[in-house]
Structure 1
């Protein structure tokens, strides 16, 4: 059994809670712009003093409405300034935030509101209110007493409601929570079974952020530090960046609509961003397809190869003169334009949620955007491991952050222990006992390895390991990640449990397909094209490339192109774009069976 620990490098507070950052910022840096809000007239700054006053006003309204210390208050909204404002207001009132993905169905909303016993919910607009009404009809939500809407001026309504609440009462509420008290219930996205509520304490966040902000000081702790959040704040990954930005006073903006993201990035000009690997894949594939459509495909491909070679050479600390010259040329022709698409000031990105892949990691570092890949779970308040600006090994998820230990069990499962590990699942002792052993080790369900320097590599999911009829164990993630890297491939599912060989289902990227079809003189009706020889050949190339990562016994031997797509709205993807394997396998049972006929 292999084990690696990183010693704690800073002191973690043993008193107080997350609201202390807002109070300290207002007291010591009242005029510092800590937020920028999107308005019809552009981005408007919000100072630390202004944010503190707004948070207090809303918190007083929650207290006046009868929200008690420890009560759960749900947030159902897209990523926006009010999400962060309400999150801190809930904490100021001594209550617990329950985030709900804004794309959640009425059934999912009903389950979370019922299971958490939420006293109140703040929704974004009419569509969310309609789903809450539907959930109320279908579920026993006797605890739910208040429903407010951001678009119906919830912030102003709560501010007026709390006008008679004294400063002394609010301060008593604000300081009631200790590091041991619950800060939030974050429900898992439900790739398996009903979502479970992860109990994350103020202390979990304080440990995680105290260490992460210190370790990632080049991102958070500079005079110009800023980031634009566009991932759902219901996800722990975005939430931890929100709290880190507030703690470090890095200017924070919110972008709710992916369609406007490029424009928002250009105006906001963040110095760092966070995203899931699928976003980085999309940016690369879209740029590649556009270059091909404009007749510059070979130039882009060459530029990508040079960027990757340049990044690999950096690991050797010495870049050959010829490679430096080629890199400088493509920096003017290609790389600079890609950086401008991110606003022109972005030098770092943080990636998590799934493996990024060696090739993409080197590509982005080669164009001047260092992607720091990390690893964590909802149960671990986000990061357990992360690559650092001065300690990076592309293809890994970095070393355990200070104060964290990793152990590789005999079956390859990764176990972690540290101050960021959650308190357990809400109202579910059996699930808690299954995840946390008596010595405090969290069983992640992920399979991986740790090298001699402590860098962790994730190789698959323990429960997703496929065992073929021949007894070969296959980790599908390795193949799936490689396949999705191809511009034409949107999603894929590797199958073969109990079968004589490995197969795959593939869906086509709706954004890149039209350009490919035009270039090859094909029709753009994908449903009629799934058996087209040229399309099949293009996907076969992607499969051949993916198979290079595995042995012959693990390689994909047959695949089927599906005419549909797997989406979050369709229920096949989680909000963080992970594939719900059981859902897809159930819906595609006939297609999977057809792979093995004959």
Structure 2
């Protein structure tokens, strides 16, 4: 890989100055111009419940009065903990209306992580979703006497009817009390909104925290709206667009699309009933735009592979024919040229690839984005072959999640595109990606010294990522600078690049690759299997198993993964091919700090926790012992001594006559 540097380049001209407004003012405008337009809809008991812009604005005003009644003041921070529901955004806009900011907390956060965010933000009011989140906060209060939280407002009362703790209050009660205050002082809310300034902190998003505790990045209204304006300058969106919101609002990506673009362009947001209905609700809505991290696209591909493998010969043949035609057309389209027979391409789409898009809920997608981590080129190519206009984007929390993105007629599966309007990009002499725009954040909350490390005096954001510009001026992101390694032949490479090749297999959920420490050692990998696809394969092969640990230890599963790793190696330079691997006895878990809430691997934790396994891989041992607690479905658990097999690929060959599986199939 190249380490080519460049002078600063800018995005398309004409980005203009960021709009001088705030989210609450945008809501006021929408409520005045489209009072009966649907702002949000939530599915409850199988029925979509709409909320108009006028009702949305009224509830925000009521809740803002309610927060003021609890003493929330301008400049403070309100925390929100829970899944996406209308109440999440009502709380966010209400806090912003009175000059406060909101920090989102991932609903899966527990213990020390939860305490860290609440302490750093000094949040006195927490808006929590349901009994699960309330119980976490109650336990934290009992073990942390000096916790700053004074009030917890819950918006799903199910299971909380018998709770009589004065610390807790129902969301609707806050709204009711707020309505009484509004009636007594009808001009107060408008005056508070008028006091708001574009440079006020609107949202505080946590960083990914791959190497340390997450920091709290302060993003202003102006930061987020500059990003929204610049992105939609070449990827337009308007009030006819539908967007299904199912990723946590604590993630900058969801704040970017659902809130910043949602409010500035008047999108209709839809909230699925629960996690189990997300896919069917997505199909029912048929969104126009979608933004998801790689894990969502990878899981969609795995779903397609399983479904097609279970289909009959005729359906498999028809899909394979249509996919090949779609792939050729996509290759031409992404390079800005026409290709293939238009009639044949249309026919292939109608009978082959469109039904698959429809099953995934992507039949009406105009454009889709992926970000947060690199998406493997093979997965990227698959979606374009089935007719999904998927684009890679690049950014960080510190620049509102987006700075670089593909254009429709210039998509490369190995790059992340070019800067959006209003954004400057430069590669430093040591290969670091530097960014500058109106969307660069205000700084880390209460950590000015950390802010100074990432934003220099000229306003350049030092991303910590290594990259270069290819011959077409598109950005190629290699990896975090500290994780870029040098192969024995002197070329620079990224463990993440190899891991993405491995994760293209439908049977691989996560892969962590380790470089050699001395000459002669091969690349090694620790792999976790995908329990869904491997379980389906095992059933087809009539293999019985009890737990994930049992399945991962099967000799047949090792042989299955050996072929998958060997196939991945065929696409890699010889100097960075994986020579040995093991299948981990458990999945990587954010609750164990092994991956972040956005599923980025915490390498420092992996290196420390699995040091013995990594050492055995590098030595070339046949197996390595580990102590683990196994939990069964009935809730019982037992501590077991396990011997994990280490598979050496130097003596493995793919059985003769076995062709390479197609991209869209898991069958060998």
- TM-score (normalizing by structure 2): 0.84
Q: Is the 8 A contact 1:68 1:94 kept in 2?
A: yes
77, 82, 96: which one pairs with 1:77?
82
- Of structures 1 and 2, the larger Rg is shown by 2
Q: Deviations over 1:215-240 (max 9, x none)?
A: 321xx22x531010111111000111
Distance (whole Å) between structure 2 residues aligned to residue 507 and residue 299 of structure 1: 33
Q: Is it true that 1:553 corresponds to 2:575 in the alignment?
A: yes
Matched, 1:393 2:412: yes
Asked whether the equivalents of residues 322 and 348 of structure 2 are also in contact (C-alpha less than 8 Å), the reply is no
Determine the C-alpha separation between the residues in 2 that align with 1:92 and 1:361: 40
Asked if residue 593 in structure 1 is aligned to residue 610 in structure 2, the reply is no
Name which of 555, 567, 571 aligns with 2:593: 571
1:157 and 2:177 matched: no
Residue 377 of structure 1: aligned partner: 396
Distance, in Å, in 2 between the alignment partners of 1:9 and 1:141 is: 51
Task: Please name the residue that 1:512 is paired with.
Answer: 533
Name the structure 2 match of 1:431. Answer: 450
Aligned equivalents of 1:479 and 1:258: distance in 2?
Answer: 31
Deviation at 1:462, TM superposition (A): 1.1
Query: Once the 2 structures are TM-superposed, how far is the Cα of residue 4 of structure 1 from its aligned partner?
Result: 1.3
1-structure distance, mates of 2:424, 2:618: 43
Task: Deviation per CA, 1:522-549: give whole Å up to 9, x if none.
Answer: 2334534545454333323332333344
* Deviation, structure 1 residue 267: 2.4
Contact 2:330 2:387 survives alignment (8 Å):
no
Deviates more, 1:588-597 or 1:69-78: 588-597
Equivalent of 1:116, from 95, 109, 121?
121
Separation of aligned partners in 2, 1:441 and 1:497: 35
Which one of 283, 295, 300 corresponds to residue 283 of structure 1? Answer: 300
**Matching of residues 225-236 of structure 1 within 5 Å:** 225-236=241-252
Instruction: Decide which of 65, 68, 87 is 2:70's aligned counterpart.
Output: 65
Deviations 1:376-397 (A, max 9, x none): 1111111111123355334321
CA distance in 2, matches of 1:363, 1:342: 16
Instruction: Label 1:493 to 1:93 Cα distance change in 2 as closer, same or farther (>3 A).
Output: same
Distance 1:141 1:186, change over 3 A: farther
Q: Render the CA deviation track for 1:238-258: whole Å, top value 9, x for unaligned.
A: 111112112211111123633
State how far apart, in whole Å, the 2-side matches of 1:412 and 1:300 are. 43
Structure 2 equivalent of residue 462 of structure 1: 481
**d(CA) in 2 for partners of 1:140, 1:483:** 47
Moved more, 48-57 or 342-351: 342-351
Tell me the CA shift for residue 463 of structure 1: 1.8
Give 1:154 shift. Answer: 3.5
Query: Following TM superposition, by how much is the alpha carbon of 1:468 offset from its aligned partner in structure 2, in angstroms?
Result: 6.4
Q: In 1, distance between residues paired with 2:146 and 2:619?
A: 49
Corresponding residue SS for 1:109: helix
Deviations 1:4-37 (A, max 9, x none): 1114424334633221110110111212222222
Whether the 8 Å CA contact 1:468–1:502 is kept in 2: the answer is no
| 1:393-412 → structure 2 map (5 Å cutoff) | 393-412=412-431
1:494–1:433 Cα change, 3 Å: same
Sort the Cα spacing of 1:447 and 1:324 in 2 relative to 1 into closer, same or farther, 3 A. Answer: farther
Structure 2 residue 274 is matched with structure 1 residue 257: yes
SS at match of 1:382: coil
The offset of 1:471, in angstroms, is 6.8
Q: Distance in 1 between matches of 2:449 and 2:318?
A: 57
How far apart are residue 202 of structure 1 and its match? 1.6
Distance 1:284 1:192 in 2: 30
Q: 1:11 to 1:30 in 2, by over 3 A?
A: farther
Q: Which of the numbers 137, 140, 145 marks the counterpart of 1:135?
A: 140
- Structure 1 distance, partners of 2:489, 2:331, is 38
Partner of 2:636: none
Tell me the alpha carbon deviations over residues 486-543 of structure 1, each in whole angstroms, 9 at most, x when there is no partner: 0111110001252433110111101101221133332334534545454333323332
Mapped to 2, the partners of 1:291 and 1:568 lie a distance apart of 31
Q: Where in structure 2 are the equivalents of 1:246-395 lying within 5 Å?
A: 246-255=263-272, 257-296=274-313, 300-301=319-320, 303-314=322-333, 315=335, 317-321=337-341, 325=344, 328-329=347-348, 331-342=350-361, 344-395=363-414
Q: Which runs of 5+ in 1 are unaligned?
A: none
Please list the CA deviations of residues 387-435 of structure 1 after superposition, one character each: whole Å capped at 9, or x if unmatched.
2335533432121111101111222211111111111111112211221
- Shift of the 286–128 alpha-carbon distance from structure 1 to 2, 3 Å rule, reads same
The answer to whether the 8 A contact 2:399-2:439 is kept is yes
Q: Is the 8 A contact 1:7 1:403 kept in 2?
A: yes
Cα distance between partner residues in 1 of 2:53 and 2:593: 40
Structure 2 distance, partners of 1:340, 1:542, is 27
Secondary structure of 1:383's partner? Answer: coil
Shift of 1:352: 0.9
Q: Which ranges of structure 2 fall in alignment gaps of 5 or more residues?
A: 158-168, 621-668
Q: How many residues align?
A: 594
Query: Measured at CA, do residues 510 and 420 of structure 1 come closer, stay the same or move farther in structure 2, by a change above 3 Å?
Result: same
TM-score normalised per structure 1? 0.93
- Structural mapping, 1:145-184, within 5 Å: 145-152=150-157, 154-162=170-178, 163-165=180-182, 166-184=185-203
The Cα shift of 1:205 comes to 1.0
Q: Distance in 2 between matches of 1:142 and 1:567?
A: 27
Instruction: Tell me the equivalent position of 1:478.
Output: 497
The 10-residue stretch of structure 1 (26-35 or 255-264) with the greater mean CA deviation from structure 2: 255-264
- 1:135 and 1:528 map into 2 onto residues whose CA distance is 35
Alignment partners' CA distance in 1, 2:551 and 2:374: 30
1:201 aligns with 2:217: no
2:604 matched residue in structure 1:
582
- Deviations, residues 74-102 of structure 1 (Å, cap 9, x unaligned): 00011112111111111112111011111
For the pair 1:445 / 2:456, whether they are aligned, the reply is: no
Residue equivalent to 2:439: 420
RMSD of the alignment, in Å? Answer: 2.4
Q: Are residues 33 and 390 of structure 1, via their aligned partners in 2, closer, same or farther at CA, if it must alter by over 3 Å?
A: farther
Which one of the candidate residues 35, 42, 45 is aligned to 2:50? 45
- Does the residue aligned with 1:151 lie in a helix, a strand or coil? coil
Distance 1:358 1:422 in 2: 30
SS of the residue 1:175 aligns to: helix
Alpha-carbon spacing, 1:13–1:514, altered in 2? closer, same or farther (3 Å):
closer
